[in-house]
Amino acid sequence: MAIGSAQEMLIGGSWVPSASGETFDAISPATGELIAAVPQGDRGDARLAITAAREAADGWARLTAFERAAKMHAVGDIIASRRELLARTLTLDQGKPLHAEAYDEVDELVEYWRMAAEDAKRLGGELPNSVSAGKRVMLVRRARGVIGVISPWNWPYTMPAELIAPALASGNTVVWTPAPTTAFCGIELARCIADADLPAGVFNIVTGPGPVVGDEIARNPGTDGVAFIGSTATGRLVGQAAAGKAVLLEMGGNGPLVVMDDADLDAAVDATLTACFLCAGQSCTAGERILVQHGIRDQFVELLGAAVTERIRLGDPFDPATTMGPLNNEPVAAKMDAHVSDAVNRGATVVAGGQRASGHATDLYWQPTVLSDVPADASVAVEETFGPIAPIVAIDSLREAISLTNAGPYGLLAAIFTADLQVGLEFADRVRAGWVNINESSNYWEPQLPFGGRAGTGSGIGRVGGAHVMESFTELQTVVITPDRRR
């Protein structure tokens, strides 16, 4: 694909420009180059896509699970054959280091489609007992119909795939709008799906502003369910717009990585590097605050500062030596500016980094940063910073770690390092988090396991992950069979 070329959306099986003819520029955070002119879809475009998906829904749902699974495997094959193109597009459009992260995301993307194909084959119902002798009862899983998917920019391939692939595999049609800042990635993924020869209208992509296209997808009566991954503020708006529909919301997090004084410090430091600097910290499961017990705080800070200096390499994301690339967009970089400044003004110490890096192609390169002596109520410790930072907050005890974890508005993922399994299990029992890792990074997850926020927190409802997400995309139909008594 030529740099700066015009792109199109997929609606009803055809690649089309926006009805208005308007476009927006996709600019690389890595190079500052114009990548492409992306269609600026609007509500009318979204409605056309929803209508196309509605018209295709019955025929797609009537295919067998094995027929749909074959199509999902075909998508996986196409993605695998385009690994190089997809990885380079990801690096250019999102900013991820090609060798350290982009290839891995494409490889994982293939597995999402393979997993959805196999999970769909095993998606079964039940045969409960009836109170009436001779009657038979079947509980059958039925596709909901049209699923609207709204996805973020930090993992622009795998996060939409963990929704789109199981939605399609379980018999639904899909209308997808990707985040505008990685819409070019979205279009390349959509090409892979389209080239698997799905029936027209089964899968559609509409690019454009979230408050317009995403809002239309969420509130339009033509969608039967809405799946969203993104920030808490946006997720709440999506949930309100989609009121009355099946809704899956995977939203923000500020889960801590706790290091107790009996922890394996080398392992904890390694895990913190992954927690805070994978995807340049732009992850809902990032180590947004590192809670370290007083007894080993100084030693941990020294080890982590040295590890960041030696092992995190900020630079050109196409360079094989680079381990961390730029931030994806200016609002995220500005939040880093504000949160670091607030922490330092309130007494935090800069151990490493602390500011934007100079000498790069754009102003989005932020130094990998470690802050010590961070107040527990500093912005960087209570909000979702979404940048390459390890804010270290000193704690006295497990009780304080649990209290600080539960004091915030989020409940997505928390992690703890301790040599005492009982301590780890007590932490898991008492924190309000949908996922808890013991002696593992907060950025560790497995795609087949259920992932999502705890009820009553700002981290969402429902679960993504393997077959579990299909529970949101299907519903039970009860069928009662009465034998013909004339025989």
Catalytic positions, please? 250, 284
CB 364 within 8 A of CB 251: no
Cα within 13 Å of Cα(318), Cβ side = 11
Cα–Cα distance, 395 to 438 (Å, whole number): 18
Nearest partner of 417 among 303, 306, 291, 311, judged by Cα: 291
Give the other-Cβ count within 10 Å of 420's Cβ.
12
Bridge partner residues of 142 (DSSP): 475
Q: Copy the structure tokens of residue 64.
A: 């067998």
Measured over the CA atoms of residue 417, residue 423, residue 425 and residue 431, the dihedral's sign is negative
Q: What is the DSSP string of 306-336?
A: HHHHHH--BS-TTSTT-SB---SSHHHHHHH
Q: Copy the structure tokens of residue 228.
A: 């969203």
**Identity of residue 57:** A
Q: Which stretches does DSSP call E strand in 94-252?
A: 136-143, 146-150, 173-177, 203-205, 225-229, 246-250
Residue matched to tokens 């094959």:
77
Nearest 5°: the CA angle 50, 54, 57 is: 135
Cα–Cα distance, 285 to 444 (Å, whole number): 8
Cα–Cα distance, 168 to 48 (Å, whole number): 19
Nearest partner of 318 among 96, 56, 3, 37, judged by Cα: 96
Give the other-Cβ count within 10 Å of 41's Cβ.
30
Cα–Cα distance, 112 to 114 (Å, whole number): 6
Cα–Cα distance, 88 to 98 (Å, whole number): 7
Q: Copy the structure tokens of residue 161.
A: 């795939």
Give 111's DSSP letter. H
Cα–Cα distance, 162 to 435 (Å, whole number): 17
